[in-house]
């Protein structure tokens, strides 16, 4: 993963998201639920959630996804409700849209 530990200024090893980074950006609900469950065990979830909101990030941050950040008034730039579902449908149809947004600078 790399981005979040750098923002939080902590080593990557103790963080659950450093072991299965793709889980935190997965499209399927099951994987996202697993990521959120792991965030609930993380000692940094509050500051992580705040960083996700502040940076208007994509993916799971502090157990919160894009919809959660949008509900808090911190939607990621360019994010629209239902975009993930449309992306998944597009992938199933083979139209090949990008699955992960670019990282913020």
Q: Please give the structure tokens belonging to residue 36.
A: 């959120």
Q: Which of residues 3, 42, 50, 70 is near ligand SF4 by CB under 6 A?
A: 42
SS3 99: coil
Closer to ligand SF4 by CB, 26 or 39: give it. 39
- Does residue 69 bind ligand SF4 (CB under 6 A)? no
Among 23, 45, 57, 65, binds ligand SF4 (CB under 6 A): 45
90 or 101: CB nearest ligand SF4: 101
d(CA 91, CA 89): 5
Question: Does the footprint of ligand SF4 cover residue 38 (CB under 6 A)?
Answer: yes
Residue 32 has a CB neighbour count (10 Å cut-off) of 19
């Amino acid at each position: 993963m790399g981005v979040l530990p750098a923002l939080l200024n902590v080593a990557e090893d103790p963080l659950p998201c450093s072991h299965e980074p793709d889980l935190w950006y997965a499209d399927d609900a099951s994987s996202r639920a697993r990521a959120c469950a792991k965030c609930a065990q993380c000692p940094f979830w509050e500051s992580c959630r705040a960083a996700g909101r502040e940076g208007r990030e994509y993916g799971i941050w502090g157990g919160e996804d894009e919809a959660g950040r949008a509900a808090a008034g911190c939607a990621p730039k360019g994010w629209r409700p239902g975009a993930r579902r449309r992306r998944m449908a597009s992938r199933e149809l083979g139209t090949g849209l990008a699955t992960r947004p670019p990282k913020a600078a």
